[in-house]
Structures are given as structure tokens and as C-alpha cells.
Structure 1
Amino acid sequence: MKNYKYIGLLLLSIGVASCDVNNELDIIEAEAIPEVALNTNGLDFSTYVAIGASYTAGYTDGAMFKAAQENSFPNILAGKFGTEFNQPLMNDNIGGLVYGGTAVQPPRFYFNGAGPARLPAMPTTELTTVLSGPFHNFGTPGAKSFHLGVSGYGALNPYFGRMASSPSASVLGDALAQNPTFFTLDIGGNDVLGYALSGGTGVDQLGNPDPSTYGGSDITDPNVFASVLSATVDALTANGAKGVLMNVPPVKAIANLTTVPYNPVPLDGATAGAVNGAYAPYNGGIQQALGYLASVGFISPADAAAEIAKRTISFSAGQNAVVIVDEDLTDLEALNPAFAGLKQYRHATADDLLLLASSTVIGTTVGGNPQLINGVTVPLADNWVLTPQEQMVIQVATDSYNATMAAIAGSNPNIALFDFYNLGVEAVSGIVFDDYTMNGKLVTGGIFSLDGVHATARGYALIANYVLAATDAEFGSNFTSATNGLAKAGDYPTNYSAMLR
């Protein structure tokens, strides 16, 4: 009972004490954030034009469509510049193009809960309908550096054909006709991207000065790129216009090349054993052929052993690397007719990059034959994989293009340089954008749209902010510190609904 008495006294004392407490809390005023006025430091944004390829155009989710164009980074920039900005808008949010009632380019991707899927709808934008300008966004999907000055380019590229001022117009000519006072120039990505997305099946045109001989998947010669870029910048700045030059981001960092793992094949022990049995003659032939080449001095014993290990096909229970064709391996069949049937096969490694589209092929059967499985008993063709050697070819060209851009920006006071390459490197591990941390993962990362190459709307807003930061650094403006000077992440989506038409 004594304890209860003490507890009662304690409660009573608390109750009495509480009567003396002022329960009205003082209101804490929110700290006022001072308004910072925009200072352009004399920059003239009255006529802003954007020149480039698909990123400039606002290409998203594997297509061009209105909402994506309205969220293109140039349109975001124009809003911050406070200037009129006309774009060659598509008819709908379905995407794609039709010609005579037939779809000639597919509609956009949407997320169906499992992955990217094409929108089940017919495009309504007619390929041959020419829009009336003038326009300010000259982003042209598919354009390479040497395409900008090609007269009549609209006949080769239907997207530009819809916006061209005449059948003989060029992208650069139409842009210059607007008498720009400020511009962005985003070019060079497609000069290596076509090669990358073909799995390296194109040709590195290093040393070939004639781009009219290039194929669509070829890599542009760095000297050709340098010559075209220098002439383009000179033309754009001739009347005193200022602009931002965007260098080439790292192609191997795009989600299209980093999403599919090199070892996506699950096998049980029995199946692995059966597949190994099928490859036994091949493995034996490889060992015998390379052993022979070592014995006659064509290859050192150490190199022969290393290549035997690299080319031996062996599956086990659990996750397995796909089997691929690697054209950089020694072509044994070409060396000796006795080596017929010893193809350039090996398992993929973590250093190989599988194209996103390979996910639709790996594990499927050939001709419905359950014994012929792509990536397992049937090696993936070269066009599905970017090998380390092919990645190096891309890197060498990219480094050369970017060195040219740095030199041009460094020697021209009217040019700011946006280091798009470094942004791509940072995106791999993650970039903080307002309340979001964005990275390069497909679907969940927030930067790459569902095609794994182009940006989401939020990704384009991020790019716009980096362009503004480059503008501040070079020309003394203050977009990065001005109130509402930058785009806000929350104003831009990372995906578009399937219902958006």
C-alpha cells in the first residue's frame, strides 16, 4: 500500500505543476528564403535554336510523341530563357509515323508491369505531311555530324522532311535562317551509337575521309567529325551568337547495354550435362587445333592454353553465361580447312555488354526445335553483343570527338562546353536531383527511358540544368542560383501512361 500512496502523491504533484505551465507554444516563423533575381549578364536569348539529334528532339521510349517533345531539354531551356520556341510536334502521344495508312515507324514503349512493350495503337502522324515553320528545335533523330550540312537531307530523314523549309534544305541552313542569338549543339552521339547498337557489326571508318561511303552503323572518322564540327560552330557564331556545345556521353553506360546480364541462363545439373555433351566435339576440336598451331610455332604454348580456356564451352548447375560469337577470336576455319566447324565461340564474360533486345532472343528456340536454344546450344550472333574490343573502338572515337569539342570551346569565347560525358559517368552510380537520386538503371533509375538509350522527361530536365550550369560558368549568368532558375525534378515524369494518347 505504501508504494501506491507514493505513486498517488507523485501524480498529484505532476498535476499541480502542470497548472503552472503555459501550454501556448510560440509560433516559429519559417525562415524566409530571399528571392534571387535572374541575371543573364547580357546574354541574348531572343532567338534560341537547338541543333542536334534525338536527344535534342526529345525522343523518348523508342519514339517521338508530343508530350516527350514538350519535355525536351531545349523546350525546358526555352522556358527558362523566356523566349518563344516552336517545335515540329507530332500529331499524338502514340508516337511513330504512318505512310499511306501503313505504320512505317512503331509507336512508343510503355511499361506493362514486367518490362517495355510497344503501345497497341496505330500512329496518326503522316510521314509526308510537311509542317509550316519557322521552327527553333532542329533536333533530328538519326542525324550524324556530317548530316547537318547535307542539302536535301529531308529526303533521307523523314523526321527532318516534315519540318524542312524546302526539299533542298539542310538542318544547319534552316537553323541559321532563324538568325540565332543563342544555341545548343548536341552532335556526335550517333557517330558512334549506330555501331554500338548494331553490336559492333559496322565499320570503324578511321582514316576514311569520305562519309558518303559510310554505312549506317559505321563510326565516323575523327578528322571528318572535327572538320564538320569546326565549320558548324564557325557558322553559328559568325554573327556573334553564343551557345553551349555538348560533348558525347559514354555509350557503354546507357541502360540499353547494361541491363541484360552476361549470365542469364539457369540450368539444372542434368540439362547442363546434356549441353556439355553436345559441345564435347567442339571443345576437343579447339584443343586439338590450338595445340597443333602451338606445335608449329604459329602461336606460343601459353597463348594457345589461354585461348583454349577462353573458347571452351562448359555449363554447370545454376546461372550460366550465354555462348556468343566473337569475331575477334582467331578464325581457325580460315587458317586451315582441317579446322572446319571450329567457329569463333566462347562464353560471355562480365566485360561483354549485351544489347537490351537480346533479352527477347536468349532462351528462345530456333524453328521451334527444343534442342536449338539461342544463347545456349545456338551461340548469340555478333549483333547482340558488344565485346571489349568493340567497346574500345567506340571509346577511342568518343575520346577523339570530345577532345575536338574541348579544343573548340577553349579557343572560342562564344562557346560554353557542357561535359555530357562526365554526367554519363556520374549517372552509373547515381545523381541527386532535388528530392530524387537517379541512376542509369532501366525503368527504376529515372534517367533512361524504356528504350534504354534516350532520357526520361526528368532526365531531360536534369540535362537542361547542366546546360544552364555550363552557361553560368562560361558567360557569368546565374541560372543555378536564381529563384526558379533551374528545372525542378518533381515537375517532370519518369514514365508516360499507356492511356496517354
Structure 2
Amino acid sequence: MKYLNQLSKLFLVTALVFVGCEGQEQSLIDDRLEDNPIQEPPSENYSAGDANFSNYVAIGNSLTAGYMDAALYNDGQSNSIAVLMNSQFEIVGGTSDFNQPDINSENGFNTAVENPQGSLVLGRFKLDTNIPGPSPVVGGDPITPYSGATSELNNFGVPGIQVGQLLTPAAGGPNSEQNPAYSPFYARFASNPSADGQNGSTILGDAISAGPTFFSLWIGNNDVLGFAISGGTNDAIFTSQADYQTRFSAVINNLMQVPDLKGVVIDIPPILAIPYFRAVTYDQIVLDQETSDALNQAFAGFNAALDAIVANLGHDQADAEMRKVSYSAGANPVLIIDDNLEDLGPKFDQLEGAGAISAQQRAALVPYEQARPMMGDLPQIGDELVLLSAGSVLGTLADPQNPQSQIGVVVPLGDEYTLTSDEIVEIETARQTFNGIMQQVVQGANANSTRIAFHSTNAVDGAFLDLFGLSDGELGVRVSGTLLAPDFSPNGVFSTDGIHPNSRGNAIVVNEVLKTIEETFNATLPAVDVLNLPSVQVCAGDCVSQQSGS
């Protein structure tokens, strides 16, 4: 059980996420709750307006597919945004036979954790209220081919994809290190999986071949989110403005080649407000007075070296002050690596060469050449961000033999676990730029007649900004008098991976999008009953954290 013991520690997440959730036990939904919401009875007041929902096709990424809790699994698919959307379309002439590439797995395959070698497969996260935090279930399943008829599909949501993957056969294969566009979630239901990355079906091509009369397109999140989740370290998955413009335009142009096809496009929401970037705070290091005094004494040499390069080498005073480490009793900023900082190695070498510090002192400075405490309450930015994945690392020992090597306190936390102010600006700039491109392209497609509704998740009166307290200062959104929180607590609207909405979150999104469709196409559509859907599911002896030896 050594592996399970190590893995259980991986999911120790701050309990702050769960503070203030009332009626937790009452809100926990049993695993076998009916998947679909109770439909409102047909009414003559409901109308498709100028739209034709008879063959609705959904195109997008994990949000469309029903991926949640870090896996694609049965209940998530049953309450996907695509399914919930179609359930409302059905009342006004939409199809009653909405087909998805069913995964046929109760717990799915957890793509956020490293699966152990051997036969054990880890599935979706559930909530372990004893941690409290997410833990994967032991009984997962590998990703298997779709056994149904690919020609009859309506949902073409593929977890993890970027805009460009909608257009390339390489998304369907081959599965190799030389093909970064490959997606096992598309390959499993591709009408013609590619053997060479050049020839074969594409996601968009398969969706158009389904003969849609109405589509939804929610794509582009991963063109920004992937870079953010890497802590701003993987530039290769950060789409450029030019590529985004070209690729998104190609997607819309292809869709508009289908006569009379109408649909809705959804932009990229404020991704840095989601729990994955908010559950662990920048000032997560809580110390008592005795410990803070001891740490300050230990860092006196580092701070003195910073003063020395200012006085003797002309280093910038403000930069040196920003890097200095000073702890106090209470909450303290996390100590991090910031690769945007000047590497002070050469200047520390100069101090050693001049005899200002000894070789031993110089060696002790190596971990801090690009280190500094995190910053909070910055103008126009707020706090710098710590990724949820850092919750398992902060405070642990970088060297098990050295009790003074606590990560984030003495040893700087790695760059892959944080987003600095520069990275936040870079991500937000790209997100807003991509949203502007999407809106411009849709406006161009609508130049002669309105065929596409554009739904902005960033509207000042929308649910997203309300949920994150960006419009009224109150965290959460009220639904039928119930306050639902922007987290993965029992009263939350996010799944336990901290990124994707749970079923209730999906319903909130769908209801917002339906309003946009109504306004654009003169339709009158019923809303999804949000509170009738499940929130999170709780570990019931099936999670890694609950196994003996964990």
C-alpha cells in the first residue's frame, strides 16, 4: 500500500474551500441519483422561434463532453452541457434521440493523476470529507473504443482539445510522442482514425457529417487554460494570437458552409477565478512567533547578500527588496521560484570572488538565485496564484533527511505550481484577445443574416461574474433562494478537479446560454432545474484516501 499511501497525500487540499457550507449532508447526492432533470411540461408558450433544433450537434472540449471530477464517466456524460441543452430543445421540436460516444464506465479514467503500474486503474475524484478534499476512486477503467455507430452521434465534445485539433486528422492518431495533437478521447469514436496524422477524419468534419440543423461551439478554453495549469511553464501549448485567429475562423467558415445551419458560440470564461487557482492562497504559510524568528535568522545571510549586490554591484534596490524573506507570526506568503526574475547567480559569484562571502555561503545561496515571496493585493491583479496541485507539496520536505527543508517555506516552491503577476497578465491578455477574435469572427459570419448567437460568459450581468463575486462582491450565485458556492464543496458548482463544473454548474451555464439563444432567434425555451441535479459525490470506502495503509 506504499503507493496508495503516497497518493493519498497528494490530495490533501486546504480546508478553506469548505468553510461556510451549510447543510452539507443534506446536499450530498447519492451516486445513483437519476441522471436527467425533471422536464417542465410542454407549454404552448415554448417556441423554437427562428431556430431549428431537430438535429442538434454539440462541438467543443471537456465542458461539452461531460468531463468532470478529472474523468469522463457515465454520470458526468449523462449531465453534460450538451445533454442538458438538448433536453430543453427537445420540448420545442428537438431530437429525442441525442447520441453521445458513451464511455460505459462508472468511474472513468482519471487523467489528472499518475496511475500505478499493474492492473490498478484510478477513476474519478470524489470528495473525502475527512481530509477534506478530493481523492480518486480505486475502481477506474481504461479508455476504450466507442462501440456504437459513429455516424449517429450528436455530441462531439472531446476533453482536452484546443481549437486547432478540431481541424486536423492528427487528433485521431497515431498515438505517438511525435503527434502532440493526438486525443484518445477522439480516437475512440473517430469515424476514420488517422494512421499517419495526415489522412483520416476530423472532429469538425465528423460533426458536419452528422447533418446538423443547430450547433453549439464552446472551444478555446484549453488554448489558454493548458498554459495556466502548467504554471506558465509550457509555452508549447499556449496558442498564439495569429494561430487562434486562423484556426477559429476556419472552424466558423466550415460550419457556415452548411446551408441554413444556425448555432451558438460561447467564449472563454474568467478561468483564473476557478477553484484550481483559488483553493490554495498565496499566503498559505502559517507560522508561530518562535518559528518565524528562527526562519528570519536563517535567512539573514540571504538578505545581506541582496544588500551587498545593491551596494557593490549596482543591483536594483526595488528588486532586491522584493526578494527579501521576512516571516512573522500568522499567515505568510509562499516562497517561490520566479523564472522571470534576473538570475543572481553571476552576481553572487562576484561577491564570492571579491571575498565578500565564503564558498560555503555562496553554495547556500544557490536555491535563491531566482526566489522571492509571493505577492498579494496587487493593483489590477489581486493576489498572485497558487495552483491546486501545490496543496500536496507545500510544507513537505524537499530532503526527507532534513527537517528544515520545507517546500514553500525554506525551499522555494517550483515555478510549475504558481502563476506570478507577469504570467497572470499574459494569460488574461490572451484570453481577452481570443474572446475578441471570436466575437469579431461571429460578427463577420452574421454580416448578411444572423445565423450565430454569441454568448459572452464575461457579461457584467451574467452568472460567471456573479459566481466569482466579480459583479456584486458576493461569492456564489443564488438559485431559487439557495446560495451555490464557486468551489467543489457540497454546496458548490464545481466538480472535485477544481476546473470543470459539476452537474449543477453545467445547468447554470446552460440556462445562461439558452437566454442568449432566445434573444437571438426569437425563441422561448424552458430552463433546466439546477437544484434537481447532483453536486459532488462523497467517498464511500472506494477512494484511495480510505484504503488501509493510506
TM-score, L = length of structure 2: 0.76
Q: How far, CA to CA, are the matches of 2:480 and 2:261 in structure 1?
A: 32
What are the Cα deviations for residues 28-79 of structure 1, in whole angstroms up to 9, with x where unaligned? xxxxx99652111131111111111111111111111110111011100111
Aligned in 2, Cα 1:200/1:161: closer, same or farther, shift over 3 Å?
same
1:446 aligned to which of 482, 485, 492: 492
Q: Which moved more, 1:177-186 or 1:434-443?
A: 434-443
Aligned position for 2:133: 116
| 1:453 shift after superposition | 0.5
Instruction: Confirm or deny: 8 A CA contact 1:97 1:127 kept in the other structure.
Output: no
- Is the contact made by 2:266 and 2:454 (CA closer than 8 Å) also made in structure 1? yes
Alpha-carbon separation, structure 1, partners of 2:491 and 2:531: 15
Could you say what secondary structure the match of 1:176 adopts?
helix
Q: Does 1:151 align with 2:159?
A: no
Match of 1:235 in 2: 254
SS in 2 for 1:366: coil
For residues 11-44 of structure 1, the C-alpha deviation after alignment (integer angstroms, 9 at most, x for no partner) is xxxxxxxxxxxxxxxxxxxxxx996521111311
Determine whether 1:333 maps to 2:333: no
Please state whether the residue corresponding to 1:421 is helix, strand or coil.
coil
Letter in 1 for 2:158: T
Equivalent position of 1:95 in the other structure: 108
> Does the CA contact (< 8 Å) of 1:130 and 1:161 recur in 2?
no
**1:272 equivalent in structure 2:** 292
What is the CA-CA distance between 1:151 and the residue it aligns to?
0.8
Distance 1:34 1:198, change over 3 A: closer
**In structure 2, do the counterparts of structure 1 residues 61 and 34 end up closer, same or farther at CA, with 3 Å as the change threshold?**
closer
Q: 1:129 to 1:387 in 2, by over 3 A?
A: same
| SS of alignment partner, residue 233 of structure 1 | helix
One-letter amino acid of the structure 2 residue matched with residue 72 of structure 1: S
* Aligned equivalent of 2:69: 61
Within the alignment, does 1:416 sit opposite 2:453 as a pair?
yes
User: Does the alignment pair 1:247 with 2:259?
Assistant: no
Are 2:112 and 1:71 equivalent residues in the alignment?
Answer: no
- Measured after TM superposition, the shift of residue 105 of structure 1 is 7.2
Q: Equivalent residue for 1:374?
A: 407
- Cα distance change on mapping 1:118 and 1:313 into 2, 3 Å: same
Q: Whole-Å Cα distance in 1 between the matches of residues 147 and 308 of structure 2? A: 64
- Paired residue for 1:309, among 321, 345, 365? 321
Amino acid at match of 1:254: I
Q: Secondary structure at the match of 1:38?
A: coil
The residue type equivalent to 1:415 in the other structure is I
Mean alpha-carbon deviation: is it higher for 431-440 or for 107-116? 431-440
The Cα shift of 1:220 comes to 0.5
Cα 1:442/1:72, change in 2 over 3 Å: same
Measured in 1, the distance between the counterparts of 2:147 and 2:119 equals 17
CA contact (8 A) 1:96 1:103 kept: no
Match in the other structure for 2:149: 132
Does the alignment pair 1:343 with 2:366? no
Q: Which moved more, 1:447-456 or 1:406-415?
A: 406-415
Deviation at 1:193, TM superposition (A): 0.5
Q: Identity percentage over the alignment?
A: 31
1:335 to 1:129, Cα distance in 2 relative to 1, 3 A: farther
Retained in 1: the 8 A contact 2:128–2:135? Answer: no
Instruction: Check conservation: 2:165, 2:171, Cα contact below 8 A.
Output: yes
Q: Per-residue displacement from partner, 1:119-163 (whole Å, max 9, x unpaired)?
A: 332323443565432211111111001111111412211111111
The reply to whether residue 322 of structure 1 matches residue 342 of structure 2 is no
1:394 and 2:427 correspond: yes
Taking a change above 3 Å as real, the CA distance of residues 227 and 343 of structure 1, as seen in their structure-2 partners, is same
Which of 382, 394, 397 in structure 2 is aligned with 1:365? 397
Kindly state the Cα deviation for residue 343 of structure 1 after the two structures are TM-superposed: 0.9
Structure 2 Cα separation of the partners of residues 396 and 367 of structure 1: 38
SS at match of 2:48: coil
| CA distance in 1: counterparts of 2:121 and 2:57, whole angstroms | 26
Separation in 2, partners of 1:172, 1:104: 35
User: Which one is further off, 254-263 or 415-424?
Assistant: 415-424
Question: Amino acid of the residue matched to residue 247 of structure 1?
Answer: D
CA distance in 1, matches of 2:61, 2:295: 45
User: Do 1:131 and 1:162's aligned partners in 2 also have CA atoms closer than 8 Å?
Assistant: no
Report the CA distance shift for 1:355/1:279 in structure 2 as closer, same or farther (over 3 A): same
The answer (yes or no) to whether the contact 1:434–1:488 under 8 Å persists in 2 is no
Distance 1:109 1:360, change over 3 A: same
- SS of corresponding position for 1:163: coil
Of 267-276 and 155-164, more deviation after overlay is shown by 267-276
Asked if structure 1 preserves the Cα contact closer than 8 Å seen for 2:110 and 2:125, the reply is no
- Is the 1:44–1:182 Cα contact (8 Å) retained in structure 2? yes
Larger displacement relative to structure 2 (146-155 or 467-476): 146-155
Cα separation, partners in 2 of 1:310 and 1:222, compared to 1, 3 Å: same
Larger Cα-atom Rg: 1
Aligned counterparts of 2:277 and 2:494: Cα–Cα separation in 1? 12
For 2:534, which of 469, 493, 498 is the aligned residue? 493
Deviations 1:245-282 (A, max 9, x none): 00001121111001111112222222212222221211
CA 1:336–1:378 in structure 2 vs 1: closer, same or farther (change >3 Å)?
Answer: closer
Contact kept, 8 Å, 1:176 with 1:236, in 2: the verdict is yes
AA of the residue aligned to 1:370: P
- 1:122–1:68 distance in 2 versus 1, CA, 3 Å: same
Contact 2:507 2:528 in 1 (8 A): yes
Task: Specify the SS of the correspondent of 2:341.
Answer: coil
1:256-271 matches, cutoff 5 A: 256-271=276-291
How many pairs are equivalent? 443
* Contact kept in structure 2, 1:145 and 1:187, CA below 8 Å: yes
Aligned residues of 2:396 and 2:406 also touching (Cα < 8 A): yes
RMSD over equivalenced CA pairs, Å: 2.5
TM-fit CA distance, 1:432: 2.3
Q: What SS does the corresponding residue of 1:420 show, helix, strand or coil?
A: coil
| Pick aligned residue for 1:433 from 479, 492, 495 | 479
The 4+ residue runs of structure 1 with deviation greater than 6 A are none
Given that residues 46 and 181 in structure 1 are in contact (C-alpha distance below 8 angstroms), is that contact kept between their aligned partners in structure 2? yes
Cα distance between partner residues in 2 of 1:494 and 1:190: 24
SS in structure 2 at match of 1:371: coil
Q: Residue 12 of structure 2 corresponds to which residue in structure 1? A: none
Gaps of 5+ in 1: 1-32, 204-214, 480-484
Greater RCO (Cα-Cα under 8 Å, separation 6 or more): 2
Structure-1 separation of matches of 2:44 and 2:524: 9
